[in-house]
Structures are given as structure tokens and as C-alpha cells.
Structure 1
Amino acid sequence: MGCAFGFPVRRDGTWWRGFHGPLPQRIEQLTASGHVFAITEIVVHPHDRDRGLARHLQKRLLADHQASLGATLLNQTNQVVYDAFRSWGWQDIGEIERQPGPTALRALVLPLGEWTAEKPDGLAHNPGTERPREADGVDPGMR
């Protein structure tokens, strides 16, 4: 009836290359920690009985990979797909330009953490999503 594809986003931040403006710090932190999973494709056979299947597939894929944040890039001319992702709780964080081609993409993220009054975006401080630090407090990836 359908399938969803994706992969873990590399910690080096290349997924966000071409992002217009500064990347939100919380998203940069989750990317560096290896807790971001990209949804690259969702394919569902159109059938009236299967409403909600695409959303279920993306939720299952993200849960199976224990992601803290889902990420996807959408062609901004495809309003139907954009509206569907937004209705599933995905947040539009900005625009990315990728080469080759003039197509600008919308960068959407889906926070998978707990949503509370203290964490209204689901991305507040979480020690499990920080880069590991050595005893001297220096990030080993920065040496």
C-alpha cells in the first residue's frame, strides 16, 4: 500500500548546506549529536480506505530510527505535499538552495521530543542530544 524512505542526517551538517540565514541552534545541536533523520520520500497508493497511511509511515520510520528530529526538504511549488506535512505537525524553518538547478526547497522539521509549557517546540535542552564532551570540556570532534 505504501512505503517511506529516509536516512540518518550526517553529523557534519551537510544536510543543511545552502540554508538561507543562520540555522537555529537547537537544530544544529541535534544534527551534531546524530539525532536527526531525513524523510526523503513517502509513496502511498491513493485509496479512500487508507487515509492517514502516509503520516503513519513517516511516524513509524522516525520512531524505528529513534530520531529526536525529523527533517525533510520539499519543492516549494508542491503546495499539496507542503500542506500535508504542515498538517502532520512539521514546522517550516526556512529555505535551502541546492545545486544543480534553480529550485529552492523548503526545509521542514518535526520535533519528536516531549511538548510541554517549558518546551513548546519539543526541542529544549536534552542532555541525550548533546555532543559528547571529554573531561576537559572540549568536544572531541573539534580537536
Structure 2
Amino acid sequence: MSAHMLLPTTSNLPAPRPAPGRSHTRRPGRPMREQGSSPHEGERLRPLTRGQVEDRLQELGDLYAEVSGGGPWAWNQARAAFLRHLAADARRPGFSLLIAETTVLTGCAYGFPMGGAGPWWAGFDGDVRESLLRRVAPGRLFVVSGIVVPSRVRRENQGRAWNLARRLQRRLLADHGAAVGVTLVEARDAGMVETLMSWGWRSAGDDTRTAGPPGSCRVLVLTAGA
């Protein structure tokens, strides 16, 4: 069974327009205040045990549906698909899930360590697989299977170290002593590829943006610390 990266479906939403009647003109001599979370205002990250994941499945599903948007039918469909995906990954050895929270749940990311064999490799080109195995020591390759964050995290300050998605993926790798993160993305999902690349992910093979045939995947990698 293959595991593909899951992101909420609103990754390409445009930035919100300023409210009518409000001026956003920059005053001479005053630096413009950067919008979004600051390094001192970010959400707290912490891992959940397997039991805690099971206890909070419904809450995690609600989070995914909430940030995905859409009508009731889309909400239920997206939520159900996410929970199936999460439940399947939670059975893998070494599975780990991090949550981000303030007074409420605001995001999560999860994945599992990858060995040198197993059905997950079926989505990889042979050359890409051998290249990864040569450059990464056994046990130091980690599959980042899902990242769930609000739309603002996907469209604002993507390159900042304190961007919530970057904090989550960096912490996942660090907690497992992983050197490289890896994920599979549907080749035709240009929006997801663009979002991940804005968070530091890079193509593991030929870095082209050409959409592949239906069902084909692109392999993206993330260096620890990025």
C-alpha cells in the first residue's frame, strides 16, 4: 500500500483582500510589519502517542475538514479520506504524529521511518530509489506522509524558519534522527508540488514541472534542518 502526501485542498487560495475603507499605505521611514506568526508567537508542538492519536482521531478529522473548506458533501468526503489515510499509516512501525496547538488544535504532521524494502517503494523510479539509499544511512530516511495546516501557512511566509509547516516537518525529522524526508505526490497535482517546494522540498529526480499520466507520482525530498 502506497502512502502519498496529504494536504488540505485550499493550497492555492489567493491571499485575502484588505477590508474596504482600510488603508495599507506604508508610512515613510517606518518598516512594514511582517504579517503572520512570529518566532515567539508560534503554536506549541508536541508528539502524540498511538493511544492519544486514537483518542483524538475525530478531532484530527475535524481539523482537516475545517482547513480544507468546501460544502458539507466535500467536507465529509475529505474528512473520511483523511481518517482512512491516517489510520493506515498509524499501523506502520515507527509511526509518529505531531500536533500544533495554542488553546485549540491548529495543525499536525505525521509519517514513519523507511527501510530499504517494502511496498511503499513501489511508487519510486528505480534510479531514484537507489540514489536515496546510497546517500542516506539505514534508518535515516523518513516518510512525511501528511501535513495539515491552515491556508495562511500555505500562502504566507513559506520560506521563514518559523512557518508552521516548516516547524512541523523539521521536528518530525529531528525527533527520529532522520537525514532526509521523502514523500510521493501525484504528478498532476501542481498545487501540492508548488506548496511543498515553497517549504523547502525538492525533486528527487528530474526537476521538471511537466504533469505525468494519471496515477503517476513525483518523489520529493527534504534535507533535515531545512
TM norm structure 1:
0.61
Bigger mean CA deviation after superposition, 79-88 or 26-35 = 26-35
Find the aligned partners of 1:47 and 1:84 in 2 and give their Cα distance: 12
Find the aligned partners of 2:205 and 2:140 in 1 and give their Cα distance: 20
- Residue of structure 2 aligned with 1:41, choices 142, 146, 153: 146
Matched, 1:56 2:167: yes
4+ residue runs over 3 A deviation = none
Greater helix proportion? 2
SS of the equivalent of 2:204 reads strand
SS of the equivalent of 2:169 reads helix
Name the aligned partner's letter for residue 78 of structure 1.
D
Find the aligned partners of 1:80 and 1:107 in 2 and give their Cα distance: 15
Q: Which has the larger radius of gyration?
A: 2
Alignment of 1:1-143 (within 5 A): 1-12=106-117, 14-23=119-128, 25-30=130-135, 33-47=138-152, 52-94=163-205, 102-112=214-224
Find the aligned partners of 2:136 and 2:128 in 1 and give their Cα distance: 11
Residue 72 of structure 1 deviates from its aligned partner by 0.5
Task: Give the share of equivalent positions with the same residue, in percent.
Answer: 41
1:13–1:28 CA contact under 8 A, matched in 2:
no
Task: Give the unaligned 5+ runs of structure 1.
Answer: 96-101, 115-143
- Cα gap change, 1:47/1:21 in structure 2, threshold over 3 Å: closer, same or farther? closer
Residue 109 of structure 1 deviates from its aligned partner by 0.9
Bigger mean CA deviation after superposition, 15-24 or 52-61 = 15-24
2:116–2:133 CA contact under 8 A, matched in 1:
no
SS of the equivalent of 2:128 reads coil
Find the aligned partners of 1:2 and 1:40 in 2 and give their Cα distance: 14
- Count of residue pairs brought into register by the alignment: 107
SS of the equivalent of 2:166 reads helix
Task: Give the unaligned 5+ runs of structure 2.
Answer: 1-105, 158-162, 207-213
Greater strand proportion? 1
